Amino acid sequence: MLISSFQAEEAQQLRRLQKKRKAETMRLLDMERRQKKRVEEIRETQKKDEENMNLKEQHRAEVRKELDKLEMTCKDMASLLRGLGVNVAGPLSHEVRAAYKRALLSFHPDRASGSDIHLQVEAEEKFKLISRMKDKFSPTL
Percentage above 70 pLDDT, the chain: 93
Convert the pLDDT of each residue in 101-140 to its tens digit: 999 988 888 887 776 888 899 999 999 999 888 888 765 5
* pLDDT at residue 60 in the model: 93
* pLDDT at residue 141 in the model: 57
What kind and span of H or E run contains 6?
helix 2-73
pTM (predicted TM-score): 0.66
Q: How many domains is the chain partitioned into structurally?
A: 1
Q: How far is CA 8 from CA 21, 22, 84, in A?
A: 20, 21, 88
- Find the domain containing 136 and state its range: 2-140
